């Protein structure tokens, strides 16, 4: 009996290891859609009210404008002390969609043109990618708005937005 349990357990471990490395391989080959955010100050300050968005979805000028108006941030006060504000702005600008290479960043930039959007969720390319999702789905208590990326994109924090990783609360897997 004991032998059997050990056998089952090690089979389980092998399956787990197999799954993990297949996943890593895939990510290694494809890479994330946008560069993941890693700066601890950014993650804690700008990830406290909502998902810590990747800088690679908006151009540098958008981040500068947004960081210059934190006292009235979409109706909230998100002010920081000047040192933290500068560190975060520098980080966002260095990783902005017009400063880094990446498939998604390039697509967002092509759609943004010379405009200076403050919302990722209002960029034309974003709207186009999400136009099949009805409003009643967004009203689900675990979503609330399109700004809540990680509610549906389960690996958004890794910068990964692949279709197979989408699980929509109240709906489930997304199939085109």
| Residue from 56, 143, 159, 160 in contact with ligand HEC (CB under 6 A) | 143
Burial of 19 from C-beta contacts in 10 A (0-12 / 13-18 / 19+): exposed
**How far apart are alpha carbons 145 and 67 in whole angstroms?**
22
Retrieve residue 80's tokens: 């920081």
Interface of this chain with ligand HEC, residues 2 to 31, rule: CB under 6 A: none
Q: Tell me if 76 contacts ligand HEC by CB under 6 A.
A: yes
Query: How many residues are present in the chain?
Result: 176
Stretch that binds ligand HEC, among 6-14, 17-25, 93-101, 113-121 (CB under 6 A): 113-121
Beta carbon of residue 99, minimum distance to ligand HEC (angstroms, whole number) = 16
Burial of 106 from C-beta contacts in 10 A (0-12 / 13-18 / 19+): middle
Residues that bind ligand HEC (CB under 6 A): 33, 45-46, 48-50, 53, 57, 66, 70, 73-74, 76, 78, 88, 104, 119-121, 129-130, 133, 137-138, 143, 145-149, 151-153, 161-163, 166, 168, 174, 176
């Amino acid at each position: 009996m004991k032998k059997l349990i050990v056998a089952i357990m090690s089979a389980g471990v092998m399956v787990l290891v197999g799954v993990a490395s297949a996943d890593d391989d895939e990510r290694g080959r494809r890479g994330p859609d946008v560069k993941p955010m890693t700066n601890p100050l950014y993650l804690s300050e700008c990830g406290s009210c909502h998902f810590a968005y990747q800088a690679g979805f908006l151009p540098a000028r958008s981040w500068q404008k947004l960081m210059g108006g934190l006292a009235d941030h979409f109706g909230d006060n998100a002010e920081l002390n000047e040192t933290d504000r500068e560190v975060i702005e520098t980080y966002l600008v260095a990783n902005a969609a017009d400063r880094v290479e990446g498939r998604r960043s390039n697509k967002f930039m092509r759609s943004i043109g010379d405009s200076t959007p403050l919302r990722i969720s209002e960029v034309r390319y974003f709207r186009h990618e999400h136009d099949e999702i009805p409003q009643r789905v967004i009203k689900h208590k675990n979503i609330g708005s399109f700004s809540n990326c990680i509610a549906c994109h389960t690996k958004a924090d890794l910068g990964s937005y692949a279709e197979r990783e989408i699980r929509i609360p109240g709906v489930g897997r997304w199939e085109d």
